[in-house]
Amino acid sequence: MFPTCPRASVPSCLTMAATALTLNLAPLFLATPGWAQTDPAAPASAAQKPAAAITPAAIESAEYRDGDLPPGQSALTAKVQILLDRSGISPGVVDGWRGGMSESAIKAFQRRAGLPMTGRMDHAVWDLLHGYAGAPLISEYTITEDDAYGLVDNIPADYADKARMTSQGYTSILEKLGERFHMDDKFLTRLNPGKSFLPGETIHVTLPAKPIRATVTRIIVDKETRRVAAYDTKGRLVADYPATVGSADTPSPHGNHVVDAVALNPTYTYNPKRNFKQGENDRVLTIPPGPNGPVGNVWIDLSEPTYGIHGTATPSKLFLSQSHGCVRLTNWDASELAHMVKAKVTTVEFLDPGVSIADVTGVTVAATVTGTARSAAIGATRPPARGDRVPPQVAIAAPGTPVPATAPVDALAASLAEAGVTASTVPAATPVSTEPLVPAQAPMVEGEEPEYPSDAELHPTAPLPGTQPAAAPFPQSGR
């Protein structure tokens, strides 16, 4: 949730509020590689069994044969996740594991294509995804000294310790590059055995597309499937993201609302008199900005008081947690969306239980076709590619060609540079399986950091190392 401010001063005044960041997961999840995508209800023998080999060559050459994606972790699932990401249907993190987020992304992809929405891999989905496979999926990247700049030793749990820091920055090069290339840290490590992730090393990374640039005038939040769909003025789906939403006790809003403003790299104000008390902290604290901050590095303020759409410090946990009402996206997805919305124009609809995105957008499922007819139908309905908007010119290098060190930068910095923004704000411009698509076990809610409103002011946001300083102080509520 996000604190209120006088309506007359929105969007020029904002205050920050808390969000649940971390989660005390059961030992099953902590011991399971790639648990971010794995269905907690799945048998351990299926969920924990990794593929024999996941190498760059295996991902590039992976081919779909029949049936659903392989259980556990596989090169094929990693390839599908990369292609989904390029198509504008975010799978969350790329980790190679079949699970809730990947299956929800396939279902969203099927919805956009007018295919039966099973959430399962089939030949129609595979053929469509090939529209985004014309460029390499994996390339080499040489770690630079800049990648090691601005790191912090750790992110403490205590808010007083957080407030004494200058940044809630990345804790390692591995974490920084994982976010940059939309990869789970453990998957990035597995793709690069024996690497220490130090400057001078050359590693293999996935090649996601550039951020989408369009004007989003309608956002639909489906709390049941935990997907956030963004549409342009012509009603075309621009992007679709996995999200963490509220719980039954602290639900996300209902009905229709409007984007009020966007804050990049926001600070977070802890006020025990207004919301909760954390530990022995009994005074107002200002926690500095950064990707590991309570709301990640993006806040999209909604007209519904105290609510917003924001980033997260734990992108792998989107489907394993519940928020206290706000909508959490990965930092890179939140940054992309933040640059497409328009203040006082973009609407945000929270669907009622039992109502789907397909219901409110009039999506109809195409009749089942095969062979030549199916290929023709898919070719005619292929959606525009992410970034360049034509299928797809994503990469700049052939397989094995190093990616220039100047090309990829932090997701937020890249978005700011592309938009020409230097301030800390932007104008809020197969047979169907019986396995569940989402975890059957209710996600857990972290009790230490509920998203309650705060009446403290939002202080000017300090830029992270390596980003441009704000051109002007961030507007403060009540001043």
Q: Which sequence positions are flagged as catalytic?
A: 310, 326
Identify the CA nearest to 15 among candidates 295, 412, 419. 295
Phi and psi angles of residue 207, each rounded to the nearest 5 degrees, phi first = -115, 90
CA dist 37 and 437 (Å) reads 11
Q: Where are the alpha helices (DSSP H) in 299-410?
A: 331-338, 357-361, 371-381
CB distance 180 to 409 below 8 Å: yes
Strands 202-206 and 218-222: unpaired
How far is the C-alpha of 185 from the C-alpha of 187, rounded, in Å?
5
Residues contacting 284, CB < 8 A, separation 6+: 269, 270, 271, 272, 273, 456
DSSP string across 395-450: -SS-TTPEEPTTS---HHHHHHHHHT--SSEE----PPPSS-SS-SSPPB--SSS-
* CB distance 441 to 26 below 8 Å: no
Residues 263, 425 contacting (CB under 8 angstroms)? yes
Please give the helix or strand (H or E) that residue 140 lies within, else none.
strand 138-142
Name 45's Cβ contacts closer than 8 Å, sequence gap at least 6.
none
For residue 48, the SS3 value is coil
How many whole angstroms separate alpha carbon 87 and alpha carbon 84? Answer: 5
Measured CA to CA in angstroms, residue 270 lies from 119, 162, 314 at distances of 40, 11, 20
Dist CA 153 CA 113 (whole Å):
45
Most distant CA atoms of the chain, gap in Å: 68
Q: What is the rounded distance in angstroms from the CA atom of residue 168 to the CA atom of residue 333?
A: 19
